[in-house]
Amino acid sequence: MMGVNGTNGVEVEAGQGGGKVVYGDGSWQLTVFVTDLQVERNLRVRGDLHIGGVMIKLVDSLDIAMDWSDHAIWWPNRNKWLDKTRWTLDQYNVNADTVIHFTPMHKTLRIQLPESWEQGYTRG
């Protein structure tokens, strides 16, 4: 069901879980969680925006001087990196209900080996 608010041209599409707002130009709000800063941002985007453009728009909105070169977009619900920066949100099937994370791609991994492993290890 679609309705148009005549004062600001906002179309509202009712759906499961409330509804999503689709603006007159076809744009919508995308929720991005920035893991380093523990903040959430809502970006107004369209489906034809490429992933690189999403990252640029996000970093500009954060207004924090920081090295973002190791960061990429992670889609936790799909367990997937959106690493093709020329692909659009439409190509990845990202929509207004999607929450994505902007997070470092390379993380520190700590492994604790069992004590029995050390006993069986011989240098040779």
As a whole number of angstroms, the distance between CA 44 and CA 24 comes to 12
Q: Are 41 and 116 in contact (CB under 8 A)?
A: no
Detail the DSSP E strand segments found in 1-124. Answer: 2-5, 10-15, 18-23, 28-34, 39-45, 71-75, 80-81, 99-104
Per-residue pLDDT of 64-83, as tens digits, reads 999 999 999 999 999 999 99
pLDDT of res. 97: 93
Q: Are 22 and 45 in contact (CB under 8 A)?
A: no
Is the confidence at residue 14, as pLDDT, over 90? no
Residue in 109, 76, 75 with CA at minimum distance from that of residue 92? 75
Its pTM stands at: 0.73
Name 45's Cβ contacts closer than 8 Å, sequence gap at least 6: 27, 28, 29, 30, 54, 57, 89
Q: pLDDT exceeding 70 applies to what percent of the chain? A: 78
Q: What angle do CA 116, 118, 119 make, to 5 degrees?
A: 65
Is the confidence at residue 9, as pLDDT, over 50? no
Per-residue pLDDT of 43-53, as tens digits, reads 999 999 999 99
Position 123 confidence tier, pLDDT thresholds 50, 70, 90: low
SS3 state at 111: coil
Is the confidence at residue 41, as pLDDT, over 60? yes
As a whole number of angstroms, the distance between CA 70 and CA 108 comes to 13
